[in-house]
C-alpha cells in the first residue's frame, strides 16, 4: 500500500516525524477487515512518501493520499475509512500542539499497478 503526504513549509518537523512513525499503524488499523490474506494489512506493508508543496500551492497544509487494494468490505466503507484516518491523524497532530488543515483521500484499486525503476 502506498501513501503520499504532501505538506506545506509551515508544517512543523515534529508533526512530520510523528506522521512517519504513526501513520502506517493508523492506516493498517483502519484498513484491517475480516477476511483472507487480501484483507490483512501490516504497518510494514505501507510505504510513505513525503513531498513539500510548492510555495505557490494554495491548498491545505497536509494532504494524505492512500492507495490500497480493493476488496468488498473495504469498498463499501471507503468514505468511512478515509474519515477514520483523518480523525486519527487530527488527534495525532493535536498531541504535537499543532493545528493544520488536513485532507485525506483514500483510493481503492481493483488492479495493482506495475512500476519499473532504472538503477545506476
- Pairing type for strands 62-69 and 102-109 reads parallel
Q: Which residues of the chain have pLDDT under 50?
A: 120
pLDDT of residue 18: 94
Q: What average pLDDT does the structure give for the chain?
A: 83
The model carries a pTM of 0.80
Four-residue CA torsion sign, 105, 29, 77, 34: positive
Q: Which domains does the chain have, with CATH numbers?
A: 2-109 (3.30.429.10)
Residue 90 has a pLDDT of 92
Amino acid at each position: 500500500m502506498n501513501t503520499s503526504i504532501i505538506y506545506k513549509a509551515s508544517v512543523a518537523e515534529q508533526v512530520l516525524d510523528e506522521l512517519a512513525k504513526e501513520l502506517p499503524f493508523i492506516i493498517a488499523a483502519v484498513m484491517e477487515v475480516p477476511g483472507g490474506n487480501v484483507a490483512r494489512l501490516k504497518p510494514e506493508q505501507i510505504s510513505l512518501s513525503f513531498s513539500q508543496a510548492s510555495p505557490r500551492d494554495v491548498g491545505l497544509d497536509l494532504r494524505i493520499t492512500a492507495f490500497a487494494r480493493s476488496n468488498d468490505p473495504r469498498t463499501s466503507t471507503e468514505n468511512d475509512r478515509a474519515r477514520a484516518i483523518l480523525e486519527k491523524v487530527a488527534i495525532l497532530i493535536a498531541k504535537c500542539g499543532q493545528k493544520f488543515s488536513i485532507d485525506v483521500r483514500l483510493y481503492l484499486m481493483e488492479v495493482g499497478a506495475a512500476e519499473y525503476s532504472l538503477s545506476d
